[in-house]
Amino acid sequence: MPRSTRPVRDVLFVDGVRTPFGKAGPKGMYHETRADDLVINCIRELLRRNPGLPPERVDDVAIAATTQLGDQGLTIGRTAALLAGLPKSVPGYAIDRMCAGAMTAVTTTAGGIAFGAYDVVIAGGVEHMGRHPMGEGVDPNPRILAEKLVDPSALVMGSTAENLHDRFPHLTKERADAFAAASQAKYAKAVADGKVQPDLVPVATRSVEQGWGLATDDEPPRPGTTVDDLAGLKTPFRPHGRVTAGNSAGLNDGATAALLVSDEAAAEFGLTPKMRLVSYSFAGVEPEVMGVGPVPATEKALAKAGLSIDDIGLLEINEAFAVQVLAFLDHFGIADDDPRVNPYGGAIAVGHPLASSGVRLMNQLARQFEERPEVRYGVTTMCIGIGMGGTVVWENPHHADYTQEAAA
């Protein structure tokens, strides 16, 4: 029999939502709220915002968590789908690629859409770092250190950021602090301008002492932060170091979810795309300097798309550490204050609940595409623990060339 062939189908990002991000720990707003309830809220909100989509037509639910224990375990994609009210016929699964969990949930399910296995998927991530600190319950193989596969610092993310400062001495603490203060300012302006709130899903919270509450705003931001405020902060990963709580993302709780569909499904259910996936790539780097991972990942993703960095009009770069973003910008010859980079601020301000952050980047890029129809291509990229980077290239459906090509 002749071998069957399948055309590769377009993958469309239709919608994305997230919870407000909270501070991890006893004083955080989600301290007594379950992790799975955070992502369940996101799934429900996606269905509410897209009433033309029959729930039974969701083909799979992929949810990421870095620490898959307790209320973040038990194949959370499946359990969250059930608890969110999706039919029992809808399957689900869990993903772990540390910080890039939600990003990997998107790219993995997108591959299924492109191949023809899926028409509609929900992909996202959750991290409750208050209940489940990164590394909880892990047992690293002793060969990793005994055979010197990596330096011990590779297992401590803040130490890898200090290593990046060592490798690139021109990336000074002063530059990192300036970038961090700018992130806080950009985020505060985005909130004042109403740019952030449309993506947020209110979450009912509980506290034994304070009773029930409602989380409607992000908890981590520190508006008004100045470079002088950051200059004197402690450097916990090294005496006289350069990495501080002020030029890094914090420890946070939160969840995200996105709705991805094929072209055919978008037409069938009357769904309007916010972005089209162009290409993606993951790359490995030395674990000791994991923050440089977005550089080769972006180079690979751009090459696969037949694009260069000059074609990219918007960049959403996860700010795990300021130095990591600066290394990326320097590599590509982009100024620290380039307006294309994180226009709404980034994780230094809003927080980084590990496996959930990839979809936050996508949500923000989608909003910016709508505001900037003259921009055709954008990138979401992030560094990943244990020495990796991930990048997704997206196309703006509001751009004139996209509309003309779709009509053709």
Residue 175 lies in a domain: yes
DSSP annotation of 306 reads T
State the CATH number of the domain containing residue 179.
3.40.47.10
- 53 three-state secondary structure: coil
Determine the average pLDDT of the residues in 8-35. Answer: 97
Residue 250 lies in a domain: no
Catalytic residue among 31, 352, 398, 399: 352
Q: Rounded to an integer, what distance in angstroms lies between the CA atom of residue 183 and that of residue 193? A: 15
H or E stretch at 109 = helix 101-115
Residue 138 lies in a domain: no
CA 389 vs CA 298, 365, 386: distances in Å: 8, 18, 10
| Whole-number percent of the chain with pLDDT over 90 | 90
Q: How many CB atoms lie within 10 A of CB 63?
A: 34
The pair of structure tokens assigned to 37 is: 């309830």
Residue 2 pLDDT level (bands cut at 50, 70, 90):
low
Which tens digits make up the pLDDT trace of 104-148?
999 999 999 999 999 999 999 999 999 999 888 889 899 988 898
Residue 305 lies in a domain: yes
Q: What is the mean pLDDT of the chain?
A: 95
Q: Rounded to an integer, what distance in angstroms lies between the CA atom of residue 39 and that of residue 42? A: 5
Q: Rounded to an integer, what distance in angstroms lies between the CA atom of residue 86 and that of residue 83? A: 7
Q: What is the pLDDT of residue 135?
A: 85
- 12 three-state secondary structure: strand
CB 349 within 8 A of CB 217: no
Catalytic residue among 132, 383, 398, 399: 383
The separation between CA 47 and the C-alpha centre of its own chain, rounded to angstroms, equals: 21
42 is catalytic: no
| Whole-number percent of the chain with pLDDT over 70 | 98
Residue 4 pLDDT level (bands cut at 50, 70, 90):
low
Which tens digits make up the pLDDT trace of 343-380?
999 999 999 999 999 999 999 999 999 999 999 999 99
User: Which residues make beta-bridge pairs with 255?
Assistant: 126
Which tens digits make up the pLDDT trace of 233-277?
999 999 999 999 999 999 999 999 999 999 999 999 999 999 999
Determine the average pLDDT of the residues in 193-221. Answer: 94
Q: What is the pLDDT of residue 405?
A: 57
Which tens digits make up the pLDDT trace of 147-175?
988 999 988 999 999 999 999 999 999 99
pTM of the shown model: 0.96
**Backbone angles phi and psi of 265, in degrees to 5:** -70, -35
Checking if the pLDDT of 406 tops 60, the result is no
Which tens digits make up the pLDDT trace of 394-405?
999 999 999 655
Question: Looking at the 3D structure of the chain, how many domains does it have?
Answer: 1
Which tens digits make up the pLDDT trace of 178-202?
999 999 999 999 999 999 999 999 9
- Structural domain boundaries enclosing 284: 143-193+277-394
Q: What is the pLDDT of residue 7?
A: 84
Catalytic residue among 42, 99, 398, 399: 99
Q: What is the pLDDT of residue 310?
A: 98
Residue 408 pLDDT level (bands cut at 50, 70, 90):
very low
DSSP annotation of 18 reads E
Q: What is the pLDDT of residue 407?
A: 46
Residue 80 lies in a domain: no
